[in-house]
Amino acid sequence: MTSTTTPVWFITGCSTGFGRQLAHAVLARGWRCVATARNKASLAGLAGEVDKAGEVGDVAGRLLTIDLDVTDARQIGSTVEAALKRFGAIDVLVNNAGYGYQAAIEEGVEAEIRAQFDVNVFGLFAMTRAVLPTMRARRKGHVLNITSLAGLAGYAGSGYYAASKHAVEGWSDSLAVEVEPLGIKVTCIEPGPFRTDWAGRSLKQTPNRIADYAETAGKRMQVTAQSSGTQHGDPVRAAQAMLSITEVSDPPRNLALGAGALDGGTKRLHALLADFDKWRDTSLGADFPEGGK
């Protein structure tokens, strides 16, 4: 493929972590990339990083960096227009922008909860709505929504973060059904613990502390803060995994990344099925009797 026929990836939240590694991997593959961040100055070294690795030439010609705050509807629109003007298409949208907020449910601060949903949920919704028309017109495209193991299972101290990711999971189920006949694929990426600076840069913790939650939410918040840099997940390998699923005709609807996500997600799903099975008669008893009115 030439530089004008390679896939175009549009990635939100590229200043650090998964977003940056994914942008690097896309460019190193010889593909084109729209890399966004709230301050695109943080992306100034991206092309140089790929060039330095000596992987593929003409990186600058295949890279467009743009300021983007996904909570700003006008900025979303102008960013998509700029991407289409530069490259003519968007083949893969990666909704990566987002952050964590930890608090026991009772400790949650209303303004912080709403701010997180504005980014993790409503910003993702708006971003996808802005890109879908061009994918729909071409009858092709792939939407990757970066959720989390927390999108499948809730843990102490992560209720509001989990709620934001559960929202994206459910929304993605509906989106996938709607766009599949139009040639558009949808995948939820569910990472477990990865060795990024997420805990140091992209995680907020409540200043409110209630003693009764010290051994549940409080302990988990402490462990999360202390584990940064020791996680088993490799963001470089995660980026390669995400690239690989866009090259197949039948990509997964859900992709757990890392042993932590696979194990935690599997346990949660087995527990759900066990409850369904145990309470099957009660569930069926809620219907009218067969032949009843």
For the stretch 73-115, pLDDT in tens is 999 999 999 999 999 999 999 999 999 999 999 999 999 999 9
Identify the three-state secondary structure at position 178: helix
Mean of pLDDT values over 25-47: 94
Q: Is-contact 188 149, C-beta < 8 A?
A: no
Kindly state the helix (H) or strand (E) to which residue 80 belongs, with its residue range: helix 73-87
| Residue-level pLDDT at 95 | 98
Confidence of residue 139 (pLDDT cuts 50, 70, 90): very high
Confidence of residue 287 (pLDDT cuts 50, 70, 90): very high
Cα(70)–Cα(193) distance, rounded to whole angstroms? 24
Q: Which has the minimum average pLDDT: 14-23, 73-82, 203-212, 270-279?
A: 203-212
Identify the three-state secondary structure at position 155: coil
Confidence of residue 208 (pLDDT cuts 50, 70, 90): confident
- Active site amino acids: 161
More confident residue, 218 or 131: 131
Confidence of residue 222 (pLDDT cuts 50, 70, 90): confident
Measured from the Cβ of residue 101, the count of other Cβ atoms closer than 10 Å reads 24
pLDDT at 2 > cutoff 60:
no
pLDDT at 134 > cutoff 90:
yes
pLDDT at 182 > cutoff 90:
yes
Q: Is-contact 264 158, C-beta < 8 A?
A: no
Under DSSP, the state recorded for 288 is: P
Cα(63)–Cα(49) distance, rounded to whole angstroms? 12
Instruction: Find how far residue 85's CA is from the centre of its chain.
Output: 25
| Residue-level pLDDT at 76 | 98
pLDDT at 28 > cutoff 70:
yes
pLDDT at 152 > cutoff 90:
yes
**pLDDT per position as a tens digit, 228-266:** 666 677 899 999 999 999 999 999 999 999 999 999 999
Q: Read off the pTM.
A: 0.93
H helix intervals, the chain = 17-28, 46-53, 73-87, 110-117, 124-138, 159-179, 198-201, 219-226, 235-245, 259-278, 280-284
Measured from the Cβ of residue 122, the count of other Cβ atoms closer than 10 Å reads 16
All domains of the chain in start order, with CATH: 8-281 (3.40.50.720)
Cα(65)–Cα(77) distance, rounded to whole angstroms? 15
More confident residue, 2 or 44: 44
